[in-house]
Structure 1
Amino acid sequence: MTRLALHSRLIPGTEEAYELEHARVWPELITVMNQAGIHDWSIWRSGRDLFHLVECDDYEAAVAQLSNDPIDRRWQDHMSQFVESFAKNPDGAGGQALRHVWTMSEQTS
């Protein structure tokens, strides 16, 4: 399993609405994410900055599978009113993953 971090930014003034949208994500979206090999997805917010931790089998394969899914497409279209952009990293998975620097458990193993 792979863990990776993503960074996105909210459109100014949408912070509270974004959190309300995530109070209960569509159950059918969670189903298609699981089917694509995404086991967990957590989001933290600091101001307009969002930090995501994704646990999945293969992030690039999951994104490719979800790009053709009508439920995910509908979610992405809906969320585009809140999210300004995802940070780009040419070295990261799918061009979005933040560069991994350190994990305590990996050092102590």
Structure 2
Amino acid sequence: MTKQIAFKMKLLPGHEAEYEKRHREIWPELVTLLKDSGVQDYSIYLDHETSTLFAVQTVAGDSSSQDLGNTEIVQKWWAYMADIMETNPDQSPISLPLKEVFTL
């Protein structure tokens, strides 16, 4: 069974192009980890006015990318992205889950 989850994060203003560049060059081992963990589809959208990132994932099973923070590759990715995003003390992005209110 698959499910969708959505969450938002915050990009530091002025780093939109760098954020997009880093994701165009996403590390293959990170992609493999996500797919092996059941993430079937992962899209991130940017609201330029607020620098808010809106992410949607289709996942199989009970986990998502949000459950991979204990892996070395995800921790390296967090450190790589920490200079352009709002983060927690462990360098993970501040990520707020969003409640689904409508599906067609």
- Superposition TM-score tier, normalisation by shorter sequence: 0.7 to 0.9
Q: CA deviation at 1:97?
A: 1.9
Q: Which has the larger radius of gyration?
A: 1
Partner of 1:16: 17
Q: Secondary structure at the match of 1:82?
A: coil
TM-score, normalised to structure 1's length?
0.76
Question: Is residue 66 of structure 2 the alignment partner of residue 63 of structure 1?
Answer: yes
Unaligned runs of 5+ in 2: 88-93
The count of residues paired between Structure 1 and Structure 2 equals 94
Q: CA deviation at 1:102?
A: 0.2
For 1:73 and 1:43, how far apart are their aligned partners in 2? 19
The letter for the 1-side match of 2:10 is R
Q: CA deviation at 1:68?
A: 2.1
Q: CA deviation at 1:46?
A: 1.2
Question: Is residue 99 of structure 2 the alignment partner of residue 99 of structure 1?
Answer: yes
Unaligned runs of 5+ in 1: 88-95, 105-109
The letter for the 2-side match of 1:79 is M
Q: Secondary structure at the match of 1:43?
A: strand
Q: Secondary structure at the match of 1:67?
A: coil
Larger proportion of helix:
1
Q: CA deviation at 1:63?
A: 3.3
Q: CA deviation at 1:101?
A: 0.5
Identity of aligned residues (%): 31
TM-score, normalised to structure 2's length?
0.79
